[in-house]
Structure 1
Amino acid sequence: MKKASNLLLSIILFTGISLSAQDNWEMLFNGKDLKNFEQLNGNAKYQIKDGQLIGTSKLGTPNSFMATKKTYGDFILEFDVFVENGLNSGVQFRSLSLPDYNNGRVHGYQCEIETSSRKWAGGVYDEARNGWLYPLSRNPKGRNAFVPGQWNHYRIEAIGNTIRTWVNDTQCANLVDDTTDKGFIAFQVHSIRDESLEGKIVKWKNIKIKTTALENSRKGVDPDVPEISYLANQLTDNDKRKGWRLLWDGQTTNGWRGAKLDKFPEKGWEIKDGALTVLSSDGAESRNGGDIVTEDSFKDFELSVDFKISEGANSGIKYFVDSELNKGEGSAIGMEFQVLDDKAHPDAKQGKNGNRTVGSLYDLIRAENADSSRGKNFKGVGKWNNARIVVKGGHVEHWLNQIKVVEFDRFSQMFKALVEKSKYEKWDNFGRIPEGLILLQDHGDEVSFRSIKIREF
C-alpha cells in the first residue's frame, strides 16, 4: 500500500512538473531593472519599487511609453494594474515607433486603462492611427469589470487577426483586425493638462507573457460580447454563424442597380481596390451616376457599412427606400443615415439643431453621443468610418464607429410629428413602410464605401 502511495505521489509530482514546463510563461518585467525596455515619446517618470513598475504623470509632456526592445506577434499577456483616480493609461501592443510616421510617435493597439465615468477600461484603442476600435459602448457587461481604487487583473490575447481582452476575468473586447501583426509592448503614462493630476501614479506588477502553445491556452468567448470586425469586404466565421452576408462582394456590381434604373449606372461610380466609390461631379444631388439601391428589400435587419468621405463631401445611406417614389430629379426617398463632412459642408448648419450632421437621421433627429461627452467619435475625412443601422420592428438605432448616436421608434407619434415638420411631410407613410431597399447616395461628392454587410432578424 505504501509503495502504491509513493507511486501515486511520484505521478502527481511528475505531472505537475510537466504541466509547468508546458505552461511556457515568461516574465516580461523582472521587477528589478528596465534593461529590456526603452522610453519613447514623453518624459514622464518611471521607476521600480517593490517589484512594481511605477509611472508618474507629468505636466507639459506628451504620452510616455515604456516599451519592450523586443517585438511580439502572437501572444497572451497578463498583468495587474493599479491607477489613481482621474488618470488615464493603457498598455500598447503590436505597436510601432517609426521615423517616417509622425516623427516616431508611438502608434498601434492599446488596451485601455481608465477611471472615467464612461467605463471603457479593457476596450481597444488604436493609438495615433484609427482611434477607438472596440469601445465598450457595445459591451455593457464589460463596462463593470474594472474596479477603481484597487488592483485589476488584465489579460490580452492577440492571436492572428483576433484580439480579445479580459479585466478581472470578465471579457471586454472581441476584436478582429489585421492592421498590424507584430510590434512592441509598452506601458503608458498619459499626458495631462490638469495640474491636479500631476504626480498621480499608475503601477503594474506580475507582468507575464506567453508566446507558444497559444491555441490550447485561449479563454472561452463570452457569447454576450459582440465580435467587431474590421476586415475589408470579408465575413468572419462568427459573422457567418450569426447570419451575416455581404451586400457588396468588393469586386462587381452584383446585387445593385440604379435607383431609377433597371441596371447599374454606366457612369459616376467606380470599383477600385476593394472600394465602391461615387465620383465627384458638381455637388448636385443624383445628377451624375445617380443613387444605387439593393436589388433586395429588407424589413428587420442590422446593416454595417464602412464609408470614407473626401473634404467637404455630402452623401448618405438610406433604408426603407421606395424607388417608385420621386421619379423626377433628386434622390430616392427613404430614411437616411447622414454621411457628411460637418466642418466643411454647409448642410451641417442647416436643418434644425444639427439634424443634418454626420450620423443623424437626416433632417429629423440629430446624432449625438449619449455615451460620453467626447463627441460623436467621427474618425475624420479621408479615413474609414463605420455606419451601423439596427432595425427591429419600429425600433431603430444609428451607430457611428460603434457609438450609438440616434435611437427612435418609427411608429411613434413623436416620429410622425418630426416628419410633418420636415422636408418629408409630402410623402405619405414616410419611414413606416413594411420593408424597403437600401441606398447609397450620389450627391455629387467623392465618397467611398466598403464592407457592406447585413443580417436579417
Structure 2
Amino acid sequence: MNKTKQLFTLRIFVSACCLSLFLFACQRDKPVEDNWQSLFDGKSLEGWKSVGGDAPYTIEDSMIVGTMTKGTPNSFLITEKEYVDFILEVEVKLEGATTNSGIQTRSHLDSAANDGKGRVYGRQVEIDPTPRAWTGGIYDEARRGWLYPLDLNESAKTAFKAGEFNHIRIEAIGNEMRTWVNDVPVSAVIDTIDNSGFIGLQVHSIPDSLDGLKVYFKNIKIQTENLIPKDFPQDFYWVNLASNQLSEQEEKAGYQLLFNGQNSDGWRSARSEQFPEKGWEIKDGIISVLPSDGGESTNGGDIITNEQYTAFDLSFEFRLTEGANSGVKYFVTLQEQTSGSAIGLEYQILDDEKHPDAKMGRDGNRTLASLYDLITSDRNPRPRRGVGTWNRGRIVVTPDNKVTHYLNGEKILEYVRGSQDFLDLVAISKYKDWDKFGQAEKGHILLQDHGDAVSFRNIKIKKL
C-alpha cells in the first residue's frame, strides 16, 4: 500500500473513532436530554387553547406572543393536558414597566364564568416588572390571593431583569411548589389542594393606556418523570399551609410547633401554672377562645407559652368571628400588675369593620395587625381577608431588636424595640406608666381572651 493510501486509511480510521466517541457521548447524555419535553414546537399552538379573555396569542420567531388588549379580562393560553408532578422551565419577557403576567400551575377552569369564556383559577407564578418587584412570587389566581408575596424574600426582588428574557424555573412535586428567577430561589409553598391541573400563560387585564404591549414566552419545556429537585437554601422561609405540621425543611431550619393540634401541651394560663378549665376549646386541630362578654380575660383568661423567647420568627393562622377582638402578644413577663389582659407588645387581631376599638387610639393604631396602641399597620386592603376566613400572621424579632409584622405574607409594619422613636410612642400610649414597657430581654408568647370567639392554628416558632 502506498503512502497516499495509508494516509487516506488513517484519516478514515481517525474520523471513525471521533464519530464513535461523539455518538457515545450523545448516547451517554441522551437520557438527561430526553427527560425534557417541549410544550411548544415553535410553529403552532397545538396542545394549547385560549380561555378567559380576548387577548390574542400568536407565534413570532419561535415565541408565543400575547398582546395586551383593552376591555378584556385576564386571558390565558392553557395546555389541553393536565400535569401532576413536574419541573417547568420557561423564558419570559414583558413590554412596559407597569404591566403584569404569570404562569399558571396545576390550575383549573370554571367554564361557565365570563359569559362562557371561562375563568382560570389556581396557583400562579407572578411576572411583575413594576417597582413592587414580586416576580417569582406565588399567587392563587381568582381564589385565595397571595400565598407567597416577595415581602417574605426581599433579597429576591432584584432577580428579575426588566426588558430582558428572564429564566423561570418551577418545581411542583408532591405538595411542594418552589420557584427560581434567573437561578435565584424566590418562593416556596406547601399546599393542601390541587395535586394536578393544567399549565397556562397569562396576558393580564390592562388599562387602556397599555393596549398593544406584548409578553413573550419561549423555550417552554417540562419534565414529568425521574424528577430531581434543585438545591434550595436550608434557612429559606416556607409558607406551609398544612395545619399543625412541620415540613422536613422547617424541621431542618429549626422551627418548632407551639400548638400540636391535639391538646394544650406547651401552654398554660397567664394566671396560674395550669391550662384554663373553661373559656378555651381544642377541637379539629384548632384552639379557640370561646365567646363570653367581650371583656378582657373575664372567662378563661389569656394563655401563654411555657417557654420564653428572645429573638424569634413566629407564624400563626387566625380566624375572626363578626365583631371579634383578640391579639397575639410577645415579650410578656407577667411582672406587671393588671386586672385585665396580661401586658406585652401586641399584634392586634380585630374585625375592623364591626369592633369599636378600630376607631379608638390614634390614627388607627388599634386596627388589624397593628402594634396595638402604638403603630398603625399598613392600611392597604389587599392582605386583609374577611371575617370567617383564615389569615396568616407573622412576627419576626431579630437579635438587634428589629420587629416586623406580616399579614398574609405582606409586610405590614416594622420598628425597633427600645429606639427613641419607640420610646416616644410609648410615652403617649396607654403603656406610658409601665416601666421599660416592651423592652424585656425575653418573654412569653400570649394568645388573648377578649371575650370574643377567635380561633388559632398552625402556630410555629424558630429561635433566631
1:90 aligned partner = 102
Question: Partners in 2 of 1:110 and 1:430 — Cα distance?
Answer: 43
- Find the counterpart in structure 2 of residue 206 from structure 1: 219
- CA distance, structure 1, for counterparts of residue 462 and residue 112 of structure 2: 41
Distance 1:385 1:101 in 2: 27
For 2:32 and 2:309, the matched residues in 1 are separated by 52
* 2:5 paired residue number: none
1:405 lines up with 2:419 in the alignment: no
- Deviation of 1:109 after TM superposition, in Å, equals 0.8
Aligned letter for 1:452? I
| 3-state secondary structure, aligned to 2:264 | coil
Q: Is the 8 A contact 1:131 1:379 kept in 2?
A: no
Q: What is the total number of aligned residue pairs between the two structures?
A: 449
**Residue 416 in structure 1 maps to residue 416 in structure 2:** no
Quick check: 1:134 aligned with 2:148? yes
Q: How far is 1:70 from its partner?
A: 1.0
Q: How does 1:72-87 map to 2 (within 5 A)?
A: 72-85=83-96, 86-87=98-99
Structure 1 CA distance for aligned equivalents of residues 52 and 354 of structure 2: 33
| 8 Å CA contact retained: 2:327, 2:347 | yes
Partner of 1:333, secondary structure, is: coil
Do the aligned partners of 2:234 and 2:249 also contact (CA within 8 Å) in 1? no
Q: What one-letter code is carried by the residue in structure 2 that aligns with 1:82?
A: K
Query: CA 1:12–1:366 in 2, change beyond 3 Å: closer, same or farther?
Result: same
| CA-CA distance at 1:259 after TM superposition | 1.6
Deviation at 1:404, TM superposition (A): 2.2
Partner AA of 1:191 in structure 2: S
CA offsets per residue over residues 87-115 of structure 1, 9 Å max, x none? 11101001112469999632111011121
- Report the Cα distance in structure 1 between the residues aligned to 2:382 and 2:232, rounded to whole angstroms: 29
Q: Please report the TM-score for the alignment, with normalisation by the length of structure 1.
A: 0.91
Report SS of the residue matched to 2:344: strand
Aligned-pair distance for 1:9? 4.7
2:277 is the counterpart of 1:266: yes
Map of 1:315 onto structure 2: 326
Shift of 1:421: 1.1
Paired amino acid for 1:118: R
Matched residue of 2:154: which SS?
coil
1:177 to 191, 197, 200: 191
CA shift for structure 1 position 395: 2.3
How many Å apart are 1:182 and its aligned residue?
A: 0.9
Higher deviation after alignment, 301-310 or 40-49? 40-49
Shift of 1:184: 0.6
In structure 2, the residue matched to 1:115 is 129
Q: Give CA deviations for 1:35-69 in whole Å, capped at 9, x if unaligned.
A: 42222222222222332222122222221111111
Q: Which has the larger radius of gyration?
A: 2
Q: 1:297 aligns with which of 296, 301, 308?
A: 308
Pick which of 76-85 and 25-34 moved more.
25-34
Aligned residues of 2:136 and 2:181 also touching (Cα < 8 A): yes
**Matches for 1:445-456 after TM superposition, within 5 Å:** 445-456=452-463
- Whole-angstrom CA distance in 1 between matches of 2:46 and 2:19: 41
Q: Give the corresponding residue for 1:332.
A: 342
TM-score by length of 2: 0.90
Contact preservation (8 Å) 1:42, 1:62: yes
The code of the aligned residue for 2:246 comes to L
- Please tell me the residue identity of whatever aligns with 1:202: V
- Contact 1:302 / 1:390 at 8 angstroms: preserved in 2? yes
Match of 2:7 in 1: none
Q: Is the 1:307–1:385 Cα contact (8 Å) retained in structure 2? A: yes
What does 1:158-173 correspond to in 2, within 5 Å? 158-173=172-187
Q: Is residue 288 of structure 1 aligned with residue 299 of structure 2?
A: yes
| 2:445 aligned partner, one-letter code | I
Q: 1:21 to 1:384 in 2, by over 3 A?
A: same
- Counterpart residue number, 1:29: 40
Distance 2:83 2:132 in 1: 31
Q: CA deviation at 1:196?
A: 0.5
Please say which of residues 75-84 and 390-399 is displaced more in the overlay.
390-399
Equivalents in 2 of 1:411, 1:260: separation in Å?
Answer: 27
- Whether the 8 Å CA contact 1:376–1:403 is kept in 2: the answer is no
- Mean Cα deviation higher: 375-384 or 275-284: 375-384
Q: CA deviation at 1:360?
A: 1.0
Q: The residue matched to 1:141 in structure 2 has which SS?
A: helix
Check the 8 A contact 2:295/2:450 in 1, yes or no. Answer: yes
Give, in whole Å, the separation in 1 of the partners of 2:88 and 2:202. Answer: 16
